[in-house]
Structures are given as structure tokens and as C-alpha cells.
Copies of this chain bind each other. A is one copy, B any other.
Amino acid sequence: MNSEASEERDAWIISIGNELLIGKVVNTNFSWLAEQLTSMGYRVRREIAVMDDIEEISWAFKTALSSGASLIISTGGLGPTYDDKTSEALAYALGRRWEVNEKALELVKRKYESAGMEITEHRIKMAKLPEGAFPLENPAGTAPGIMIREGDSLIVALPGVPKEMKAIFNNLIDELEARTEFTVAETEFYVSGIPESSIAPLIDEVVKKYPKVYVKSHPRGKELGAPLLLIHLSARAGNKDDALSMVKRAESMLLSLVKEIGGKINRK
């Protein structure tokens, strides 16, 4: 990657749920979170999807922690059913006790009591957190999210239901933004009439001159016959102006090169 890799704030996303691994659900939580974290300045380094299994979930958290991730966000597995195992697996991964958290229990009780429902064993389960964890109020559902600090890493476990996941995440934006020191700038355009394999050497020239700019071509047409490419440029820097300036200079160089070989540019 680039020379700033070691200074960057790496984020990992852990997606939990058999429904993802049997292909029943498209993982839109991942792309939503990835976009949010990227725009905050994190480098989302890896995403891992695992089954609803203590060993599997625990493996994912341990792998992320041992890589030195600054932020680890998981989705799924916080509900009341037998296969909701994220909280227990997290306790297991961290070697901490898994116990009823009084603050979490209060949050869960309040939800059910206000609906005139009693607290049951399966509802109490949603209030069991790893020792030392902080419950995150769920404005759109009943299962609280979980926040834990472990060494220099911050772990946030969110529910899998998208509206609950987003509602809890949105309450954390200030805290998560405060952890990053980078911002991202990006731009994109379409090129038609030139196959990707002919643009490849031009992109090489640009990234050689601007090694901190990432240039990605997305084929949207047919390499042979009707080539259409979406070209996306992005850069990460300590402040917005630097990032934007790098992206703009790289874009301008690439536009000239593409036009020279007869590429047609479109902004939309």
C-alpha cells in the first residue's frame, strides 16, 4: 500500500450470521459501515464474515485484535435466540467473564416494561456482556450494542438489523471521528471508447507520479466492443486540502493522458 500505512487507523468489520454464509442476505451492513468509516478517515483493512458459532466469532475478533486494528466493528448476533452468540464469543475471545451488565439490564427492562412485558431468561441474555463492557442504547430495537476497549483497540458490536445497527452507530460518530487523524478526498469520471487494458498503462504513469493517490477502474461496459469504465481516484491525508489537492492533480494528469488516446470523458 502506501508509505503512510503504519500511521493510519485501521478498521476491521466482522459480519456475523449464517444467513450471510448461505447467501440468503446480501451484506449491505458491510458496505454501509465501510463507507462511513472511510469518510471518517479510517482505512477499512479487512472484513470477515463468520457463522453463528462461538469459536468462529472468537477467531474473527482475535485475528483482528492481533493485527493491531484501531477499530473493530461487528454486526449481528446480539438478539435473544440460541444462535445469537456475539457477546459470549467476545467475552471468550478476550478471556473475560460473560455476565449480566446492570446498565444493560436496565436498558432492556425499560424497553419491555414500557411495552407491558415481563423480563424473561431470553431477554436477560441480551443484557449479558463481557466484563468491563459498556452497553450502547439501541434507539430502534431492544438489544443494546456493546463497546469494549482492549489495549489500543476499540471494539464495537452492533445488531444485524440494519436500522438498529445504523441508529446505534450514528450515536457514536463523534467518538469514532475523534480517533482518526485522516480525511479522504475522492473524485470520479467515466471513460468510453477505450478498453481497460489500454488505460492500464496510463494509470501506471499517474500512480507512479502520485503514489499516495489510489486509482481504480471499474469496468461498466464490454472490454471488447463497447468499453465503458468508471475511474475512481481517492487520497487520504492529514487534512482535507492536501487530500483534495493530490486527487485533483492526479485526475488532471489522467484526463490529459486518456484524451490523448481518444478516450471520451463523462462526469455522470
Q: Footprint of B on A, CB under 8 Å?
A: 1, 15, 18-28, 30-38, 44-53, 56, 79-83, 111-112, 114-115, 117, 120-123, 126, 141-142, 161, 195-201, 203-204, 207, 214-219, 222-225, 232, 234
Contact = CB atoms under 8 A, between A and B. Distances in A.
B20 A47 contact: yes
Nearest to A122: B200
A126 B161 CA distance: 40
Given A15-B47, A45-B50, A79-B196, 11 more contacts: A18-B214, A18-B216, A20-B47, A21-B47, A22-B38, A22-B44, A23-B32, A24-B232, A82-B207, A111-B224, A142-B223
Contacts of A223: 111, 141-142
A204 B81 CA distance: 8
Contacts of A38: 21-23
B30 A81 contact: no
A22 B35 contact: yes
Contacts of A222: 141
Nearest to A214: B18
Describe A's contact surface by its main secondary structure: mixed
Contacts of A30: 20, 23, 27, 49
One complex includes copies of this chain to the number of 2
B45 A34 contact: no
Contacts of A122: 197-198, 200-201
B27 A27 contact: yes
19 contacts: A1-B53, A21-B45, A23-B34, A23-B36, A23-B37, A26-B27, A26-B31, A27-B27, A46-B49, A79-B196, A79-B219, A81-B199, A81-B217, A114-B224, A120-B197, A122-B200, A123-B197, A141-B219, A161-B219
A222 B163 CA distance: 11
A73 to B, nearest CB: 12
Sort A-B residue pairs by CB-CB distance and give the 8 closest, nearest first: A23-B35, A23-B34, A80-B197, A122-B200, A47-B49, A115-B224, A21-B44, A80-B200
